[in-house]
Amino acid sequence: MKLPDKELVIFDLDGTLTESKSNLRPDMARALAALLARKKVAVIGGGAYHQFREQFLAELAVPKPLLANLFLFPTTATTFYRYRGGWRPVYQFLLSKTEVKAIKKAFADVLKEVRYVPPRKTYGKVLENRGTQVTFSALGQDVVAALGKQGLRLKEEWKKENTPLKIKIAKLVQKRLPKFEVRTSAYTSIDVTHKGIDKAYGVRKIGKTLGVPIKAMVFIGDGLYPGGNDHAARRTGVQCIAVRGPEDTKKIIRNILTLASH
Ligand SMILES: [Mg+2]
């Protein structure tokens, strides 16, 4: 199936529709409004629903009827929200209290083992229970919310200096949690979920939930390279388009709309 004939466009959120943990920009909101008038749109990301609400929905000024075409899949599609007069959860695969406890203990043990030295200042929770996922963020969940661009710079700096350490921590946590999936993501984070929760799971889950076959979807993400957090999506056979950031994404949306109108 050719791009303009696809029924559903799936976007990664962070780094694809927005800069990392930054708000959706007005020009992207306009592009999405135009797309929603023609296609079903799904947004998938590692962040929790509250993150989607603040970073994405709050800035998405589109006519209400169009929201029926928009489907949100926070925490890698272990949660699904749709619009029915308001945003409502359809399903949520929560981690149990015991599971969350075990994950937190694993991090505490590993950080001790590697003699982890935390950054001088952190912003918000470093270890966050997102319901379906527990996430470690070296600088804290709220560093970008608190510092804006400066927060992004801090994340980039931390990434440059500490990526080998981040990978080591993730490996050691994985060893202690064989029943879970431990994954590093773009900058400063390590995500822990039930096993088998990745973007491949997400794409299949989205397809099943919305009743759209893989060949009628396209996936757009900034982490489609090997080792990137969108790479697993390729396993499903869905058509994938790699972008470097929101500017590229806007061009792709424009392409779909131009081609679809002929
Ligand atoms: Mg991304």
- Segment 201-245, tens digit of pLDDT: 999 999 999 999 999 999 999 999 987 889 999 999 999 999 999
- pLDDT tens by residue, 135-163: 999 999 999 999 999 999 999 999 999 99
pLDDT at position 174 is: 96
Domain for residue 112, yes or no?
Answer: yes
**Residue 240 β-bridge partners:** 219
Mean pLDDT of the chain: 93
pLDDT at position 53 is: 96
Domain for residue 2, yes or no?
Answer: no
Token pair of 142, please?
A: 């709220």
pLDDT at position 262 is: 58
pLDDT at position 75 is: 87
CA 50 / ligand 1 centre spacing (Å): 17
- pLDDT tens by residue, 78-114: 899 999 999 999 988 899 999 999 999 999 999 999 9
CA 249 / ligand 1 centre spacing (Å): 12
pLDDT above 70 coverage of the chain, percent = 99
CA 187 / ligand 1 centre spacing (Å): 10
Residues 162, 125 share a domain: yes
Is residue 260's pLDDT more than 90? no
Domain boundary among 146, 179, 194: 194
Residues 203, 87 share a domain: yes
Residues 176, 158 share a domain: yes
Model confidence at 118, pLDDT cuts 50, 70, 90, reads very high
CA 222 / ligand 1 centre spacing (Å): 5
Residues 42, 12 share a domain: yes
Domain for residue 234, yes or no?
Answer: yes
Domain for residue 3, yes or no?
Answer: no
CA 221 / ligand 1 centre spacing (Å): 6
CA 142 / ligand 1 centre spacing (Å): 17
CA 77 / ligand 1 centre spacing (Å): 14
CA 14 / ligand 1 centre spacing (Å): 4
- pLDDT tens by residue, 156-205: 999 999 999 999 999 999 999 999 999 888 789 999 989 888 899 999 99
In total, how many domains does the chain have?
2
* Domain extent for 123: 97-194
**Residue 92 β-bridge partners:** 79
**Three-state secondary structure along 162-208?**
HHHHHHHHHHHHHHHCCCEEEEECCCCEEEEEECCCCHHHHHHHHHH
Residues 205, 181 share a domain: no
Residues 225, 149 share a domain: no
Residues 106, 235 share a domain: no
Residues 88, 108 share a domain: no
Q: CB count, 10 Å around CB of 211?
A: 9
Residues 202, 190 share a domain: no
CA 20 / ligand 1 centre spacing (Å): 7
CA 247 / ligand 1 centre spacing (Å): 14
Domain for residue 247, yes or no?
Answer: yes
User: In sequence order, which residues have a C-beta less than 8 Å from that of residue 103 and are 6 or more positions away?
Assistant: 95, 134, 173, 177, 180, 192
CA 78 / ligand 1 centre spacing (Å): 17
Residues 149, 81 share a domain: no
Q: CB count, 10 Å around CB of 149?
A: 10
Question: Between residues 75 and 240, which one has the greater pLDDT?
Answer: 240
- pLDDT tens by residue, 1-18: 888 899 999 999 999 999
Residues 212, 169 share a domain: no
Kindly report the CATH number assigned to the domain that includes residue 151.
Answer: 3.30.1240.20
Is residue 38's pLDDT more than 90? yes
CA 113 / ligand 1 centre spacing (Å): 30
Residues 146, 111 share a domain: yes
